[in-house]
């Protein structure tokens, strides 16, 4: 979190609960053959939710557009 890779408001306890809970569920239900695929999917979903989002790029200003901003057709 200090490096900015993860969201500052991420609930790490919930992440740990999700990982442990999903693993225990697979073990208790005997679905260990599904475990590798399920683990990859779970980690992907958790990381997507944890990643810090980058601020959207600002729309281009007049200096970035060049003179094309001045080429707006006028109504007759």
pTM to 2 decimals? 0.54
In this prediction, residue 1 carries a pLDDT of 59
- Give the 3-state secondary structure of residue 71: coil
In this prediction, residue 71 carries a pLDDT of 46
Of 67 and 34, the one with more pLDDT: 34
Cα-Cα end-to-end distance for the chain: 58
In this prediction, residue 39 carries a pLDDT of 85
Name the nearest CA neighbour of 53 among 5, 21, 1, 13: 5
């Amino acid at each position: 979190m200090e490096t900015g890779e993860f969201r500052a408001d991420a609930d790490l306890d919930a992440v740990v609960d999700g990982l442990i809970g999903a693993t225990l569920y697979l073990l208790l239900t005997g679905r260990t053959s599904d475990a590798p695929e399920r683990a990859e999917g779970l980690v992907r979903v958790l990381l997507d939710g944890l990643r810090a989002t980058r601020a959207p790029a600002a729309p281009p200003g007049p200096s970035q557009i060049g003179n094309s901003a001045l080429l707006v057709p006028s109504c007759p």
